[in-house]
Amino acid sequence: MTQTTKANNGSEWHGTTIISIRKGDKVVIAGDGQVSLGDTVIKANARKVRRLGDGSVVAGFAGSTADAFALFERLEGKLERYNGQLLRACVEMAKDWRTDRYLRRLEAMMIVVDKEVSLVLTGNGDVLESDDGILAIGSGGNYALAAARALMDQDLDAEQVARQAMGIAADICVYTNNNLTVEILEAL
């Protein structure tokens, strides 16, 4: 899924690449650090992956940074309201995102994980769970997804798969770099 956003001057902000790998006893989210406006790199070391709430949930975003922070705050509120139940919090947030006039205008996608579930959230009201333990979003998401699928049968752990898949995506997608933020949770 490619994420682009129009900047005030009409140029396009190009998204990022975020990947989540669930393998063995780990779940990993990795994100690159590049922010681009048109054909210019604005920032090379942005942090697009972070822990939420008490640290038991990790989220990564592609799209507008301000919009992503608004969504992070909203998700943290839902997690608090639903006692850390990630799936329930995400479904409730997706309902709000689709129906709330303010939230509908937000241009971002998110991958969120905890020890039990990995989900993609979109502004269309989608809450999508992976069939194979791999999720990817952003401008290089399809490259990272394909690379990760090819690497899953190798003798690599979740972090190694994520790092190698992100490296491949960075080699192909001009809106993705190798300045990675990686967060790891030990799965159940």
What is the side-by-side order of every strand in the sheet holding 181-186?
A: 134-138, 17-23, 26-31, 181-186
DSSP 136-176: EEETTHHHHHHHHHHHTTSS--HHHHHHHHHHHHHHH-TT-
Q: Kindly give the residue spans of alpha helices, DSSP state H, lying in 16-155.
A: 65-81, 86-99, 101-104, 141-151
Contact predicate 138/147, CB 8 Å: no
Give the residue carrying structure tokens 């975003």: 61
Catalytic residues: 16
